[in-house]
Amino acid sequence: MKNIASCLSCDIKLNMFCHMTDNQLNNVNDHRKEVRYKAGETIFKTGGPLTHMICLTKGMVKVYLEDPYTDKRILLSILKPVELVLGPGFLVDNSHHLTAVAMEETTACFINIEEQKSIMESNTKYTMAILEHVNKKVIKQFEKMQCLTHKHTHGKMADALLYLANAVYENDVFDTLLSRQDLADLSAMTKETTIRLLKEFSDEGIIKCEQNHFEILNKEKLEKISISG
């Protein structure tokens, strides 16, 4: 697919790209590929080769941690523009350890890993920005694992709803493309438990839930449930 705009003039490029020189940005642009995905298409798969870093420029993407021996998976996060997708296999085994799936029509720029290594070797500020980004992601995953490990079902469900309202949709009223199974995967519970908890929260007046439309009616109570676990 023909690239629409150059990295140098792009108004939605990653903040960390400001640390690159014009020549480096032009070099990235010469080697990048822009790809479009339909809803439900896999962007990369656990175990697949990690050959590019990905810059999400349009749409939303679900990122899963999958068990290679079962059908179980955990929905770790939902990405939206403008977001860098660079898995932990970078500089380690050059393999994907996560799976990413488009939730809707999505556009992403693929940037060659070898080009990135070359830039990082010669540009300390850019390298530091990459490390900062990766470490922030790691901290969020630690927090996610702590929630899933130590909280009971009500706390997990509260955390999932607060995450969607605060981090993903940035509104207490939102329509989501996530299915009930996705919500279950987001909170590491069964689909049946997720449906039961949503009904409980709805009956208690904490949320309003009609199919894919959600309204958080009592955020203070939801936050208390999250804290108490």
Read off the pLDDT of residues 60-103 as tens digits, 9 standing for 90 and up. Answer: 999 999 987 777 899 999 999 989 888 889 889 999 999 999 99
pTM of the complete model beyond 0.95: no
Cβ-Cβ contacts under 8 Å for 66 (sequence gap 6 or more): 46, 72, 73, 98, 99
Q: Which of 9-18, 67-76, 142-151, 203-212 has the highest mean pLDDT?
A: 203-212
DSSP, collapsed to helix, strand or coil, labels residue 18 as helix
Look at residue 69 in the predicted model and tell me its pLDDT: 78
pLDDT at 49: 95
Tokens of 64: 């899963």
- At 27 the pLDDT is 87
Provide mean pLDDT across the span 150-175.
96
Q: Which residue has the higher pLDDT, 161 or 10?
A: 161
| Sequence-ordered list of residues with C-beta below 8 angstroms from that of 91, at least 6 positions apart, any chain | 117
**Locus of tokens 């909170």:** 187
Other C-beta atoms closer than 10 Å to the C-beta of 45 total 14
- Mind listing the pLDDT tens digit for each residue in 175-219? 999 999 999 999 999 999 999 999 999 999 999 999 999 999 999
pLDDT, tens only, 94-105: 999 999 999 999
How many other C-beta atoms lie within 10 A of the C-beta of residue 143? 11
